[in-house]
Amino acid sequence: MRATLAMPDSERDEHAIIARYFAPLATHEGARGLLDDAALLTATGPLVITTDAIVEGVHFLPADPLDLVARKALRVNLSDLAAKGAAPLGYLLTLFWPAGRVSGDIALLAQGLAVDQRVFDIALLGGDTVSTPGPLSLSVTMIGSAGRRTPARAGATQGDDVYVTGTIGDSGLGLEALRGAPFDAADRPFLAARYHLPEPRVSLAAWIAEYASAAMDVSDGLIADAAKLAAASHVSMEIDLGALPLSPAAARWAAAQPDLGAAKTRLASFGDDYEILFTAKPGAVHASAVPVTRIGRISGGGGIVLTEGGQPVAAPVQNGYVHRLGR
C-alpha cells in the first residue's frame, strides 16, 4: 500500500491505517507486510488473474454492512477464478475511500476481508488506498493457480450438455426485497443473504477444470451470460426453463406470480448469481460437491433458445442485468 490516503490528512495516519487494518491481512510472505512497493510472487505453474470492481450505489447499497461489502468484492473475483478452474492464492485491493468518511469504518471492512481470507485460504498481497470525492469503491485483482485445464467461454461444441451450479435468481430477488418489495417474511433473510454474500463455487474449481468444455460465472443474468458463452463458442444453446434450479424461496415467489414462465425468465435474467454456467460432453460429468443441474444442450447455429417442457418460449430482450441501483 502506498501514498495518497487522505483521511485525516497526513502520511502518519495513512501509515497507521495500513499498519492497523491491512498489514495483519498480508500474511503472504511475498507481500512483505505491505511495507514495500510491490509483492513478490513465486508461482509453480500458470496463473489465472482476474479483476472486478464494485461501487457504492451501483453494485452495492449504501446501507450494506461494510464487512459484507468487502467480502462481496472478494467473492465476485473468486467466482471468476472458480469458473476458470483455478485455485485462489491472493489478491490486491484498491480502496477508494470517500473523503468525508471516518477512517474507523475501515475496521469493519478489514474484518470482512479477514473472515473471507480464512474461508478461502487467501492473503492480501498488496494494494493502494486513495481518497475520492466519489462513492466508496473497491477494485480487487485476484490471482489463482491454474487447474489442469483453464476452460474458456469458447470451448462448447455441438452435442454438449449445459449445466449450472446451485440455484438461479435468489440474489435478484434479494435485492428487490432489500429495496422494499413484498416477500414472505420467512424467505426474506435467505434472499437478502444471497444478495449480500454470493457463494463462489471455489470448491468446484478442480472439478470444473476436469469436466467443463466451456465455463463462465453467471454475474449478468443466466440468459445474458449464456448468450455470451454461446457467441464465444459459435454455437447455439437451448435452455429448458423447466429445469431451472430454484431455491425453495424462489420457487415460492415464482409460483405466486401470474405467469410462471415469465417469472422463470425473470429469475434467469437477474444478475449477481455467481454460479457457474458450463458445458460438458454428455455423460462426462461426475458427482460434484455442490448441486449441479443440467439445464440444456448445445446445438449448431447461434444464439439462445428458451424452452419449457420441450416447447419454445419467446426470448426476452437480451439486455442482461445492468448494475445500477437507486436510479
Our finding on whether 53 is near a copy of itself (CB under 8 A) is: yes
Residue matched to cell numbers 414462465: 261
Q: What angle do CA 63, 168, 77 make, to 5 degrees?
A: 60
Site for a copy of itself in 260-279 (CB under 8 A): 271
Q: Please provide residue 217's backbone torsions phi and psi, each rounded to the nearest 5 degrees.
A: -90, 155
Our finding on whether 10 is near a copy of itself (CB under 8 A) is: yes
Residue pair 147/205 in contact (Cβ under 8 Å)? The answer is yes
Our finding on whether 157 is near a copy of itself (CB under 8 A) is: no
> At its nearest, how many Å lie between a copy of itself and the CB of residue 143?
7
CA 222 to chain centre: 13
Of 86-94, 103-111, 245-253, 288-296, the segment contacting a copy of itself by CB under 8 A is 86-94
Which of 237, 231, 232, 72 is closest to 164 using CA atoms?
237
Of 137-145, 156-164, 186-194, 292-300, the segment contacting a copy of itself by CB under 8 A is 137-145
User: Looking at 43, 256, 284, 289, which residue binds a copy of itself (CB under 8 A)?
Assistant: 43
Which three cell numbers mark 142?
Answer: 485476484
User: Looking at 117, 131, 236, 265, which residue binds a copy of itself (CB under 8 A)?
Assistant: 131
Residue pair 85/146 in contact (Cβ under 8 Å)? The answer is yes
β-strand 303-308 against 236-240: which pairing, if any? parallel
User: Looking at 21, 22, 60, 96, which residue binds a copy of itself (CB under 8 A)?
Assistant: 96
Our finding on whether 18 is near a copy of itself (CB under 8 A) is: no
Site for a copy of itself in 279-318 (CB under 8 A): 318
> At its nearest, how many Å lie between a copy of itself and the CB of residue 129?
9
CB of 127 or CB of 249, closer to a copy of itself: 127
Site for a copy of itself in 175-214 (CB under 8 A): none
CB of 218 or CB of 306, closer to a copy of itself: 218
Residue pair 222/273 in contact (Cβ under 8 Å)? The answer is yes
Of 113-121, 130-138, 240-248, 308-316, the segment contacting a copy of itself by CB under 8 A is 130-138
Instruction: Write each residue from 210 to 249 as x if it is in contact with a copy of itself (CB under 8 A), else as -, in one continuous string.
Output: ------xx-xx---x-------x-----------------
> At its nearest, how many Å lie between a copy of itself and the CB of residue 305?
19
> At its nearest, how many Å lie between a copy of itself and the CB of residue 255?
29
Cα Rg, the chain, nearest whole Å: 21
Residue pair 305/233 in contact (Cβ under 8 Å)? The answer is no
**CA terminus-to-terminus distance, the chain:** 34
Which three cell numbers mark 149?
Answer: 485445464
Residues, the chain: 327
Which three cell numbers mark 320?
Answer: 442482461
**From residue 313, how far is each of 170, 226, 227, 291 by CA, in Å?**
22, 16, 15, 26
> At its nearest, how many Å lie between a copy of itself and the CB of residue 53?
5
Applying CB under 8 A, the site for a copy of itself has a residue count of 74
